[in-house]
Amino acid sequence: MALVGKIAAVTGAGKGIGQALTETLLKNGAKVALLDVNEAAGKSLAEALGKQYGQDKVLFINCNVESDEQMKAAFQKIIETFEAIDIFCNNAGILNETQWEKTISINLMGVIRGAYLALEHMNKLTGGRGGVILNTASMAGLGPLLSCPAYTASKHGVVGFTRAMGAASAASGYGVRFNALCPGFVQTDLFNNIQGNLGQFSHLRDAAQLLIDKMGTMTASEVVECVIELLTDETKNGEVFYVYPQGTSYVTFPSMVK
Ligand SMILES: NC(=O)C1=CN([C@@H]2O[C@H](COP(=O)(O)OP(=O)(O)OC[C@H]3O[C@@H](n4cnc5c(N)ncnc54)[C@H](O)[C@@H]3O)[C@@H](O)[C@H]2O)C=CC1
Ligand SMILES: CCCCCC(=O)/C=C/C=C\C/C=C\C/C=C\CCCC(=O)O
C-alpha cells in the first residue's frame, strides 16, 4: 500500500512522535488530519506543514481522545474534508502515575475508542476502503517499567488489544490491519518532563535512570523512519514492532495452543 494520496489521521499529532509521524506521512504523499488537545501546538504545526506541503494536505482538529463526542466529530470532519480515511495512528499518550486513571483513560481507553470509531469508517464490509490502524504502545507494553506500573499496564493493554483486533479483523474480512509500535526511550516532552509524574514510585527514578543509561535514547524521527514498513506492507497485521536504539524487531509471543 503506497502512501501517496492516502488519507491519514494522527492523534497527539502536535508534538513528539505524533509530530514525526505526521511529517513522515506528508513527506510520503499522504494527506493528514492532526488531532490534538493542545490547540496551540497542533495549529501552529498544521500551519507550518500546510505552507510546506499545501494547505489542502493538512487539517488540524482540536480533539481530546478521552471524549467520545469530540472523537466522533473529528471523524465526521475528516470525512467531510478528505472523503475517506485509510490510515489511523492512535498515538496520543501521557505518563502520569499520580493521575493513573487518566493515564489508563488516554493511553488505553483512548486507543480502543479511536480504533472502534476509525473502523466504522474504514471497514470494507460497511462501505470503507480498508487500511491500517497503528497503535503507539511502548517497550513498556512488552516488559515492566518499574517506576511506572499504571503506564506499563496501559501499554500492555494496547499490545493485547492490537493483537486481538488484528486477528478479529482478519477473521471478519474488515480489510483493516492493526499493528502496534513499541519504542524504547524517545526524547520528547513526555520523556523530558517526567519529574513530578512518578507519584508514589518517585523513589525508583535512579533505577529507571540506570535503565535509560543502559538502553540509550532515540529521537522521534529515528523511531518513525522505521514505521513506514508497518504502514505499507500489506502482510503486516497484528504485529508488535519493537524499535530500540540499536535496531528493530517484530516481537514473537508464546503460542497458546500446545
Ligand atoms: N517518549 C517516549 O519515551 C515514548 C513514548 N511512547 C508513546 O508515544 C506516544 C507519544 O508520546 P510522546 O511523543 O513521547 O509524547 P509528547 O508528550 O511529546 O506528545 C504527546 C502529544 O499527545 C497530545 N495529547 C496528550 N493527551 C491527549 C489527549 N487526551 N487527546 C489528544 N491529544 C493528547 C499532547 O498534547 C502532545 O501533543 C504516547 O502514546 C507515549 O506513551 C512510547 C514509547 C516511548
Ligand atoms: C523500558 C520501557 C521503555 C518505555 C519508554 C516509554 O514508553 C516512556 C518513557 C518515558 C520516560 C521514562 C520513564 C521513567 C523514568 C523515570 C525516571 C528517570 C529519571 C529522570 C530524572 O530524574 O531526571
Tally the domains of the chain: 1
Residue 105: inside a domain: yes
CA of 97 to the centre of ligand 2 (A): 12
Output the pLDDT for position 147: 97
Output the pLDDT for position 29: 98
Task: Name the amino acid, one letter, at 99.
Answer: Q
Hey, what's the cell of 72?
Answer: 466522533
Complex ipTM: 0.97
- The string of DSSP letters for 2-55 reads --TT-EEEEETTTSHHHHHHHHHHHHTT-EEEEEES-HHHHHHHHHHHHHHH-G
Output the pLDDT for position 6: 98
Residues 64-90, mean pLDDT to the nearest whole number: 98
Residue 248: inside a domain: no
pLDDT level of residue 89 (50, 70, 90 thresholds): very high
Residue 157: inside a domain: yes
- pLDDT of 203 > 90? The answer is yes
**Burial group, residue 35, by CB count within 10 angstroms (0-12, 13-18, 19+):** buried
pLDDT in tens, 14-58: 999 999 999 999 999 999 999 999 999 999 999 999 999 999 999
Q: Which ligand is nearest to the CA of 62?
A: 1
CA of 102 to the centre of ligand 1 (A): 13
Give the domain extent around 31: 7-240
Measured by CA distance, the residue closest to atom 43 of ligand 1 is 138
Residue 2: inside a domain: no
CA of 121 to the centre of ligand 2 (A): 35
**Averaged pLDDT score across all residues of the chain:** 97
Residue 258: inside a domain: no
Residue 246: inside a domain: no
Residues 92-114, mean pLDDT to the nearest whole number: 99
Output the pLDDT for position 1: 84
Catalytic annotation on 174?
A: no
CA 186 to chain centroid, in Å, comes to 14
* Residues in the ligand 1 pocket, defined by CB under 6 Å: 11-12, 14-18, 36-38, 41, 64-66, 91-94, 106-107, 136, 138, 183, 185-186, 188-191
> Given ligand 1 and candidates 10, 11, 15, 104, which is best to mutate, with the most ligand atoms within 8 Å of its CB?
15
Question: Which domain CATH number covers 17?
Answer: 3.40.50.720
